[in-house]
């Protein structure tokens, strides 16, 4: 098939590369000429394991191309995936200007049938807005050309997006058109050879499914984080509680890990957008209100522990920080707990020495050069002369460090662990003061 993917951000680039990988001809279009130049030169503007190799392989095979020419991109693909950003607006709702602009461009330049597929995470009712925008452009041209609009929300985890696309657990299709259903069923056949993973529903249900999925996962995280605070007060161990409830097949183990809060481009934005949609329809979502409040509070848990140990005045103190990205295997720092912690420590007069395997350039972009921020070249270098270590992201490289070397580099053998990477008894036996989340003292 010939496919156009509009937007070369996280969703668009992964989708385009994976669709090309199974033999489709894919043209990715973006109005950001800098991004297209990077892609044409063999680079990628995001960090995602396995993606750069896949992009290079399919560019070399001639199946994957990049352009800034909007008109050419509309003519190219019978299927047009809209995968542009939907950033949160000031009121928390999703900003739909880029989605609508993409739809208008398709209506402005199309000459034959198009199946337009919303891949971006969009509020319920977006497909109707896309239809209206396209119809207005066609009417302005005095044309009547057949088109369909479908919803096909992405369920990609940053850090595992290529695997998620190539081996999906489900493929949600929202459409009222049998023609659209058959086209998408044919497109996704290579991704579901051992069983049918297609879940076909109406458009509005598909749009809501994406928000509902992320809101449910965010709810599990916030629930466990609040439970971890209670466990500390009661002298219980949240890890043992996690195993106890996770063994129940009705609950399972996924997303039951307590920590220092969720971040990224999806959960915070999607929870806010779903709450905003509910408010606009006079439906209170009290659970999600609490989820968001709990998450914001959780981002300060390690800072609160630092204050309890060292006090409020942290002048002349230096803190090492392991992990800057909101999760492992990505360089994404949007809404990352590390940002909240760094800025709180700065307000109390501390300096930071930080390390992350992937997010150092992103940190430089956000903060620039500062006297109170040092970006180390290795985890151990970050520890040199630090008063304590904060573990914020659970990268595999942090899971089994040389504790004796750590102890010799730190000014004080103190670890604040926001991801519960280590066993408290083991660290305390080695002479560390160890402050995890919800673990037994």
DSSP code per residue over 361-384: HHHHHHH-S-TTEEE-SSHHHHHT
User: Would you state the structure tokens that stand for residue 377, as one six-digit string?
Assistant: 């070249």
Compute how many other C-beta atoms are within 10 angstroms of the C-beta atom of residue 378: 11
* Spatial separation of the C-alpha atoms in residues 416 and 424, rounded to whole Å: 11
User: Would you state the structure tokens that stand for residue 199, as one six-digit string?
Assistant: 């879940």
- Residue 80: phi and psi, rounded to 5, are -115, 110
E strand map for 160-250: 171-174, 198-201
* Spatial separation of the C-alpha atoms in residues 216 and 287, rounded to whole Å: 10
* Spatial separation of the C-alpha atoms in residues 358 and 353, rounded to whole Å: 16
**Whether 196 contacts 168, CB under 8 Å:** no
Token pair 């002369």 in the structure block, residue = 385
E strand map for 312-409: 318-322, 351-355, 373-375, 388-391
CA distances from 429 to 327, 404, 407, 421, 438 (A): 29, 12, 12, 16, 19
Which residues are annotated as catalytic? 266
Specify the DSSP class assigned to residue 396.
Answer: G
Q: Which helix (H) or strand (E) holds 242?
A: helix 238-246
* Spatial separation of the C-alpha atoms in residues 171 and 184, rounded to whole Å: 10
* Spatial separation of the C-alpha atoms in residues 368 and 161, rounded to whole Å: 29
Helix (H, G, I), strand (E, B) or coil at 31: coil
> What residues contact residue 29 under an 8 Å CB cut-off, 6+ apart?
4, 5, 6, 7, 8, 66, 67, 68, 69, 70, 72, 73
Name the pairing type of β-strands 147-151 and 114-118: parallel
* Spatial separation of the C-alpha atoms in residues 74 and 384, rounded to whole Å: 55
* Spatial separation of the C-alpha atoms in residues 427 and 415, rounded to whole Å: 9
């Amino acid at each position: 098939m010939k496919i156009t993917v509009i937007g070369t951000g996280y969703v668009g680039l992964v989708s385009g590369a994976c669709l090309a990988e199974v033999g489709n001809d894919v043209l990715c279009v973006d109005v950001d000429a800098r991004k297209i130049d990077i892609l044409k030169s063999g680079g990628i503007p995001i960090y995602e394991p396995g993606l750069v190799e896949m992009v290079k392989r399919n560019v070399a095979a001639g199946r994957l191309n990049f352009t800034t020419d909007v008109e050419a991109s509309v003519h190219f693909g019978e299927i047009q995936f809209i995968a542009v950003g939907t950033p949160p607006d000031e009121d928390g709702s999703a900003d739909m200007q880029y989605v609508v602009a993409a739809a208008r461009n398709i209506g402005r330049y199309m000459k034959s049938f198009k199946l337009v597929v919303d891949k971006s995470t969009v509020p319920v009712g977006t497909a109707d807005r896309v239809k209206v925008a396209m119809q207005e452009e066609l009417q302005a041209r005095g044309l009547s050309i057949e088109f369909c609009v479908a919803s096909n929300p992405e369920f990609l985890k940053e850090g595992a997006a290529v695997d998620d696309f190539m081996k999906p657990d489900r493929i949600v299709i929202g459409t009222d058109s049998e023609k659209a259903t058959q086209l998408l069923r044919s497109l996704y056949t290579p991704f579901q050879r051992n069983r049918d993973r297609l879940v076909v529903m109406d458009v509005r249900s598909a749009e809501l499914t994406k928000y509902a999925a992320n809101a449910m996962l965010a709810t599990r995280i916030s629930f466990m984080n609040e439970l971890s605070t209670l466990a500390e007060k009661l002298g219980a161990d949240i890890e043992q509680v996690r195993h106890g409830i996770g063994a129940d097949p009705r609950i399972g183990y996924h997303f039951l890990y307590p920590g220092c809060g969720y971040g990224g481009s999806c959960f915070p934005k999607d929870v806010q957008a779903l709450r905003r949609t509910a408010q606009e329809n006079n439906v209170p979502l009290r659970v999600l209100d609490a989820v968001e409040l709990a998450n914001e509070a959780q981002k300060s848990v390690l800072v609160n522990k630092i204050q309890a140990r060292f006090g409020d005045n942290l002048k002349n103190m230096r803190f090492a920080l392991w992990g800057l990205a909101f999760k492992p295997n990505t360089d994404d720092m949007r809404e990352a707990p590390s940002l909240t912690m760094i800025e709180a420590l700065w307000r109390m007069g501390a300096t930071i020495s930080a390390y992350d395997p992937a997010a150092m350039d992103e940190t430089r972009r956000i903060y620039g050069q500062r006297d109170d921020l040092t970006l180390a070249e290795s985890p151990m270098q970050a520890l040199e002369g630090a008063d304590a270590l904060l573990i914020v992201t659970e990268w595999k490289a942090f899971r089994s460090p040389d504790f004796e070397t750590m102890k010799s580099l730190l000014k004080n053998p103190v670890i604040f662990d926001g991801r519960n990477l280590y066993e408290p008894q083991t660290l305390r036996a080695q002479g560390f003061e160890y402050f995890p989340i919800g673990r037994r003292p």
